[in-house]
Structure 1
Amino acid sequence: MRHYDLSPLYRSTVGFDRLFSMLDGMSNGDNGTPGYPPYNIERTGENAYRITMAVAGFGQEDLSIEVKEHALTVRGEKKADGESKSEVLYRGIAERTFERRFQLAEHVEVRGARLENGLLHVELVRQIPEALKPRTIEIASGEPQKVIDQKAA
């Protein structure tokens, strides 16, 4: 069983620990294979992240990605080839069905996905609403401001 240490990410993103905890909290894979397919979670910008999964042997038509209620689900199911002319003597490239779930933190949305060189890249962005963003408050000098009451003539 593989375990990835996300503690360096926790240290570099003070206050966003919950995001990584939720991304890291996943269900085990199907068929008793909790490490399949292997994946990476990368931080690509201040509020941008990427999940990269190794899905060798799967094409675009074999993969599906669904986002529902703060959960990202990636499924892979290899369609059976009825026209296989060769006999496989040893199968080292796994083509088994899988389902991998990732819990997404609030305000994280999936921007897109692409498949290249056997790796599935899922791009995530954290969009914080203006009301929740920190704002800077100016500090006034020691003297209070004078208010002049002007009455309309």
Structure 2
Amino acid sequence: MWYLYGIVLLAGIANAIQPGQNGALARGLSQPLTAGLVVGVGTLLTILTAGLASGRLALPTFEEAARIPWWAWFGGVLGGGIVATQLLVAQRVGAAAFTGLLVTAGVLTSIALDHFGWVGFERHAASLPRIVGGLLMIGGVALIAAS
């Protein structure tokens, strides 16, 4: 189980690196959002390759699709919004402020998602340590963004 935390740490590192890569791509193209299409194709190919290699890729049956909540189909839209933000904003605010704000907003939102059991998460109370941790993250990102 601990190896999963290592994978998440690697994803966090990638999350910090990706806006710079995407920004460089956007600057090199005539329109910055064209880079988003390139990123999307790269994402598609990565998921397709991983799915085919692992045998964990299949089109859903009608019954499976009907059981899925309507809002669950729109995660890609949120991912596209994140990539568009990387392309249009990250370079202007800097890597530390961008990633700090992104992660802090994600943690604060996650505390609420856990507390209320929204979008498929099991309930985990917004305990005092979680709330204090979120507040400390706000303070930390304020210090990073101010300098």
TM-score > 0.5, shorter chain as reference: no
Q: With the length of structure 2 as denominator, give the TM-score of the two structures.
A: 0.21
Q: Which has the higher helix share?
A: 2
Higher Cα Rg, which structure? 1
Q: With the length of structure 1 as denominator, give the TM-score of the two structures.
A: 0.21
